[in-house]
Amino acid sequence: MGKPEGVWGADGDDATNERIGYAGRWWRMTPNPVNSSDSDYEAHRGDPDYIYEGYLLFDFFVTGSLGSADAGFATESSYYVLWWEHQRARGPCDSPARWSTVVGYAGDSAYDEDIGPVDIGVYAEIERLCEGETTLPAGTYNCRFILTEESFHQSGVVSGGHRRTTWDGRDSSGRRLGPGLFFLRLETGSSVHTRKVILLY
């Protein structure tokens, strides 16, 4: 992820942020936070009221039941989102499916009932070019590497009306968190929803 100077000040780097955004994706931080596009970024590039963060999702992996994993990475792809192989037909440029055997138990907070063992295939939908074709210009990058948990795209099932919840920007111990990008995870019965939230204060 880039470090736009409008947020990071002297510790930021707009040139790095732009190189990452053009290779990957844009997140418009202000106004009205939303996934954005090259054309939106270019239309407001010099406007100090608009702040864009470039980010590149270049790989993914599946952990063991205790969160352990041993994975190598290559920053050669710009993915959009992860899918179960049965959710959507894989496109010609998307990543191959990676298969894992999943076992879950009702006593675990993540499962309502015993699951598996079942083989689950996960693949990444491509954002730009084809898998393995994304290149960043050579140079020095002032950026952030973020390791985060991600849910499958559209994995939740909406039923029984709408519900609303709020988050006050505090962690589980009640401490107010500083500025940054956070992924909020909401578990509702058998579905899990993950949303990206940016705190600017």
Domain count, the chain: 2
Same domain assignment for residues 77 and 173 = no
Domain range for 166 is: 5-56+136-199
Residues 50-77: pLDDT tens digits?
Answer: 999 999 988 888 777 677 788 888 889 9
| Same structural domain, 62 and 128 | yes
Strands 79-84 and 98-104 come out as unpaired
Please indicate, yes or no, whether the overall pTM of this predicted structure exceeds 0.75. no
The conformation of residue 170, written as its DSSP 8-state character, comes to B
Phi, psi for 194 (deg, rounded to 5): -120, 130
pLDDT tens-place string over residues 132-185 = 999 998 899 999 988 877 655 544 433 344 445 666 677 666 666 766 666 677
Looking at the predicted structure, is the pLDDT value of residue 78 above 60?
yes
Question: Same structural domain for residues 128 and 144?
Answer: no
Whether residues 143 and 189 share a domain: the answer is: yes
How many other CB atoms are there within 10 angstroms of residue 127's CB atom?
Answer: 17
Residue 142 half-sphere exposure toward CB, CA atoms < 13 A: 11
Place of tokens 């559209």: 154
Query: CA 90, 92, 95, 97: dihedral to nearest 10 degrees?
Result: 40
- Considering 94, 113, 132, which residue would you say is the last residue of a domain? 132
